[in-house]
A and B are shown apart, each in its own frame.
Chain A
Amino acid sequence: MSVGMEQQRRAMTGGRRGPIRDAVFFLVLGGLSSCFVLLIVLLLAADLSFTSSAAFAAALRKPEIQAAFRLTILTCTLAAVLSVWVATPLGYLLSRFRFPGSRIVDVIVDIPIVLPPLVLGLSLLILFHQPFPLTQFFGGGGANSAGLETSTGRPAGWILENWMEDSLGLPVTYRWPAVVLAQFAVSCAFAVRTMRVTFDQINPRAEDVARTLGCTRGQAFLQVALPQAWRGILTAGTISWARALGEFGPILVFAGATRFRTEVLSTSVFLELSVGQLDAAVAVSLMMVLMAVAVLLFLRWLGAGMST
């Protein structure tokens, strides 16, 4: 058999095997992929089958759940607004400039993403109640507006929680501002990532040109870069909001789970479970699933807009 004929035979048999190989490939691909999709669908189906619409409605009529719902909306929105407010300039800074320590800042910003949630809550608690180093050497006797703690048996020094309460009249720990701060600490990290990617995708030369036309750096940012980043800002806000909605560990440690005071939907699930109210816990969980799905659909819509 000539070399040419052998090649032709191989090509022909290979051609017949091609569809079979592709079928195997798609079977493996589909099989592995469907495992995860199936898991999520089964989880949701299990939740739905566990509760009835009557139990769901009854749970939602409970005043403590309604209060938790209102507090969730308020704190998530505040955390998202604060996150976008901080993440927009920080994302721009990290995207556009290389400065001494920029890599370190980049790593620091990501820490809340990888930190165990309980550790983050504990760190917040310590930050607000531990006297700041060396501050015991400044200021004198008596608790004062600077938050210096001199009570017997406790180290003197500047304590953030005392200062917030005495000077600003805004106590934080175990109150609703602690919920916002715990949510913000995590959601802002996600917002910064989003804003950085957003500004990476915007041509920096347009800002350069704006500067040659008479803009300061600030004007170039506000008039040229920021208007192009509006979808990224919306995405960052939405991701922050969704992230804040799911936050639990830091809230439990730093804000506690007090009914009508610091209870948000994630802590509601925990509280209802702890008192054996499984129906109510599942109802609140389903409510959170609906909110998460709404956020995801909004994000998909934003993504579709970006790609066009």
Chain B
Amino acid sequence: MIELADVSVRSGDYLLEGISFQVQAGAYAVLMGRTGIGKTTLLEAICGLRRVLRGRVLLGGVDVTVWSPADRRIGYMPQDLALFPTMTVQQHLEFAQRLQGASQAAMAACVRELAELLEIGHLLQRGVRGLSGGEAQRVALGRALAARPALLLLDEPISALDAETRQSARLMLKNLNRQTGVTVLHVTHDREDAELLGDVCLQLERASSGRVQAACAGGAA
């Protein structure tokens, strides 16, 4: 379970204040909000890349507010995917395992499992520069899942895909959530994504006081 309790976080001059919500373990939560309201900032705060000024971030009941990103076991897939241009697809899938000191056999098993799950077995020896949008997205997902995260943060993962690929990507994301049981927090401004994917839908919105709040817009948060 992920819980944010009265979290405040700053991005330049922009301040997100008093954000509170919780998502049950294994749920697929969709976080919506208009462009520029601070969705990405909030994701960065959750995974430890941005300092939380006030409030607490709890993962499975444990306060991880001041933990380093490496210790949180949170997978993060940014909007631009941020693949590593000097690595092959296989090296992406091995990256987290290698950092955890996994054996060669364990690493190979992990790569096999993820390649099958994400249907990227045929891409393993390729570099990432020539991949299509859909392929790159699956590689980024595999890289994040290889760390066996308790929570997966997806920042507009399918917004850059064409209509046909979007549909298959949605299916893949939902299946991934069901098969691995990983809790997902998916940021989007597309209402269709929220309706088709979300067990829980959260809305970041600006209240009349000017503060940005997270409200439950559907499902059981």
Contacts and interface: CB of A to CB of B under 8 A. Distances in A.
Contacts, number: 64
Given A206-B82, A228-B86, A211 B99 contact: no
B56 to A, nearest CB: 19
A212 B100 contact: no
A213 B76 CA distance: 8
B72 interface: yes
Contacts of A215: 70, 99
The DSSP consensus for interface residues of chain A is: helix
A214 B98 CA distance: 10
Nearest to A230: B86
Contacts of B44: 208
A211 B49 CA distance: 8
Nearest to A206: B82
A206 B44 CA distance: 13
Contact of B100 (A205, A210, A214): A214
Interface string A192-233: 000000000001011011111111100100001001100000
A214 B82 contact: no
Contacts of B218: none
Interface in A65-102: none
B69 interface: yes
Contacts of A206: 82-85
A227 B69 CA distance: 22
Contact of B70 (A212, A224, A227): A212
Interface of B: 44, 47-49, 68-70, 72, 74-78, 80, 82-86, 95-96, 99-100, 143-144, 146-147
Given A212-B70, A212-B74, A213-B99, 15 more contacts: A203-B80, A203-B82, A205-B80, A209-B76, A209-B78, A212-B76, A212-B144, A213-B75, A213-B144, A213-B147, A214-B147, A216-B68, A216-B70, A228-B84, A228-B86
